[in-house]
């Protein structure tokens, strides 16, 4: 378990709208002595969807069960997860729900609505089926691509939380809190410096902080100041916008090879030797956010901002 | 006739072992599973029930864990078309795969063909002979509830073989199957698979 993960709503920084909504739901469910409604959390990676799910389990006082949809291939995998629910209910979390195979979605619908699983045993006329009754549970699903979910599935979630990118002040608070947990001293200026380069994402902020921690530990620096932070980011090639090597390669390729676009994601991913998913999940959300790239029906297009940036930074030619 | 040996495991020759007793070493052929089991037990004191066979010009000793296994082996040898090698293989398959017993109980001849070296004809011949052998598995009751559980697991995407094994294991742990519904058995079996 990641030590930096907040355990309750009070420790969780940011996403005020979602927190407000969920706090009310939890309060109400508890006073009615019911399970919480099913929840769908969507938003870019690294913003704290899994964390919110584990907090909900904690606030409800229920057991937390975790699964990744891509690991659920056969009906037995999903039914196994569903039948492992505690007698007094559990909070079940399925990450990357958009990767759930279609044949499992139906099992999920029925279990969400009526807390049952029907297994058809024989085929054809006179088909027999066995019904397994499940204890009540709350299903929380997270997705980075809410658009690729089927509408019957989306309809069955009572609560839908959209995660927003973080503000720099929030990230700075997160970095300070994490530093405390890692027993580091960090100056205000340095935490702001790191927050600015964290791509509006707490996961990235914590990752940068860990790298800085390594750097100061090796160099026996007592307290993290801007100089130490800047030095450590230089080592891992993170620039002032928080862009890394892959982002720069991506932008370079778009500019030099694809003449600024439009270029299809498959082409770009082939060229970079990275999977399309990696690029879509890791690079693009941020590049879209800072308006370096636009997604058009014909493909990705480089913007004015990106061209200015590339003209002013030196990085290796992609050819 | 030699029927039992207890002694020190001296070493291995191909797929046989040498067991020393009172300064004499005996070369004993074992079923594959038993050979594997004793592979790392050099120097240990082991006991075997022996089937002493005279084949053509030579004598051979075959070792087993228990008298019932020994009896099964002798029965197999009597079947037309089964020699010592295949008989050892069959004993080994039955000892390592209890579902074969259940198949015998449920008259599924075909699963015998999963044993290396057993074809259509041999399977049919073995079938009648073996029904009463390997008694340690005979107390597993495989009734309609259990059949339903196996079918349910199969429709959830578990292989037939695996489903059978899991259901048998589940039933072994249940003292009284009559108080349980098949739903309960299925749920328990699913948890076992996870």
For B66-101, the pLDDT digits (tens) are 888 888 888 888 877 788 888 888 888 877 776 776
Summary mean pLDDT of chain B? 80
* Residue in A with minimal Cα distance to B155: A121
Res B26: pLDDT: 92
Look at residue B43 and give its three-state secondary structure.
coil
Percent with pLDDT over 70 in chain A: 95
Average pLDDT in the A281-303 region? Answer: 85
- Give the other-Cβ count within 10 Å of A193's Cβ: 24
Question: What is the rounded CA–CA span in Å between residue A135 and residue A137?
Answer: 6
Contact A80 B193 (CB under 8 A): yes
Tokens of B60: 């051979």
Q: How far is A249 from chain B (nearest CA, A)?
A: 42
H or E element that contains A92: strand A90-95
Of A84, A121, A122, the CB nearest to B191: A84
* Residue in A with minimal Cα distance to B188: A83
**pLDDT at residue A233 above 80?**
yes
Question: In which order are the strands placed within the sheet that holds A63-68?
Answer: A63-68, A90-95, A138-143, A39-42, A159-162
Tokens of A48: 């704290």
Average pLDDT in the A88-117 region? Answer: 86
Res A319: pLDDT: 42
> A90-104, A153-167, A170-184, B178-192: which range is least confident on average?
B178-192
For helices B67-78 and B120-130, angle between their N-to-C axes, nearest 10 degrees: 130
* Residue in A with minimal Cα distance to B191: A80
Chain A contact for B128 (CB, 8 A cutoff) = no
Question: What amino acid positions of A are annotated as catalytic residues?
Answer: 49-50, 95, 144, 203
Contact B186 A130 (CB under 8 A): yes
Contact B157 A74 (CB under 8 A): yes
Chain A contact for B60 (CB, 8 A cutoff) = no
Q: Band of the pLDDT at B49, cuts 50, 70, 90?
A: very high
pTM to 2 decimals? 0.66
Considering only the C-alpha atoms of chain B, give the largest distance between any 2 of them, rounded to a whole number of Å.
60
């Amino acid at each position: 378990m990641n030590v930096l993960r907040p355990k309750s709503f009070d420790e969780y920084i940011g996403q005020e709208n979602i927190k407000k909504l969920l706090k009310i739901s939890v309060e109400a469910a508890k006073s009615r002595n019911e399970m919480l409604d099913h929840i769908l959390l969507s938003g870019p990676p690294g913003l704290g969807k899994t964390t919110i799910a584990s907090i909900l389990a904690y606030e409800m006082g229920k057991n937390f069960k975790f699964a990744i949809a891509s690991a659920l291939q056969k009906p037995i995998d999903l039914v196994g997860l569903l039948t492992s629910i505690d007698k007094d209910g559990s909070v079940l979390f399925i990450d990357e729900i958009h990767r759930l195979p279609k044949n499992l979605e139906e099992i999920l619908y029925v279990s969400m609505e009526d807390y049952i699983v029907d297994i058809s045993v024989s085929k054809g006329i006179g088909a027999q089926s066995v019904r397994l009754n499940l204890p009540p549970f709350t299903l929380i699903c997270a997705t980075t691509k809410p658009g690729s979910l089927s509408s019957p599935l989306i309809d069955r979630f009572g609560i839908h939380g959209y995660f927003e990118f973080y503000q720099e002040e929030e990230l700075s608070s997160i970095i300070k809190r994490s530093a405390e947990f890692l027993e580091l001293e960090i100056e205000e200026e340095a935490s702001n410096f790191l927050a600015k380069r964290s791509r509006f994402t707490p996961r990235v902020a914590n990752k940068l902080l860990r790298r800085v921690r390594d750097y100061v530990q090796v160099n026996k620096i007592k307290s993290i100041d801007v100089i130490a932070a800047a030095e450590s980011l230089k080592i891992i090639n993170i620039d002032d916008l928080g862009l890394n090597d892959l982002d720069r390669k991506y932008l370079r390729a778009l500019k030099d090879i694809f003449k600024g676009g439009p270029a299809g994601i498959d082409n770009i991913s082939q060229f970079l030797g990275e999977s399309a998913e990696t690029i879509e999940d890791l690079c693009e959300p941020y590049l879209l956010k800072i308006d370096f790239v636009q997604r058009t029906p014909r493909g990705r297009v480089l913007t004015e901002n990106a061209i200015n940036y590339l003209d002013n930074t030196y990085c290796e030619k992609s050819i | 006739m030699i029927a039992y040996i207890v002694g020190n495991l001296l070493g291995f020759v191909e797929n046989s072992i040498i067991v020393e007793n009172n300064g004499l070493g005996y070369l004993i052929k074992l079923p594959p599973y038993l050979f594997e089991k004793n592979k790392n037990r050099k120097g240990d004191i082991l006991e075997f029930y022996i089937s002493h066979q005279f084949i053509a010009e030579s004598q051979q000793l075959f070792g087993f864990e228990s008298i019932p296994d020994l009896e099964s082996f002798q029965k197999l040898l009597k079947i037309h078309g089964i020699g010592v090698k295949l008989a050892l293989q069959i004993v080994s398959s039955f000892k390592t795969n209890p579902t074969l017993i259940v198949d015998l109980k449920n008259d599924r001849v075909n699963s015998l063909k999963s044993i290396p070296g057993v074809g259509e004809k041999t399977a049919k011949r073995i079938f009648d002979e073996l029904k009463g052998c390997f008694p340690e598995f005979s107390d597993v009751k495989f009734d309609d509830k259990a059949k339903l559980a196996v079918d349910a697991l199969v429709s959830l995407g578990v292989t037939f073989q695996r489903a059978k094994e899991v259901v048998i294991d589940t039933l072994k742990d249940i003292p009284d199957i009559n108080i349980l519904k098949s739903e309960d058995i299925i749920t328990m079996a699913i948890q076992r698979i996870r």
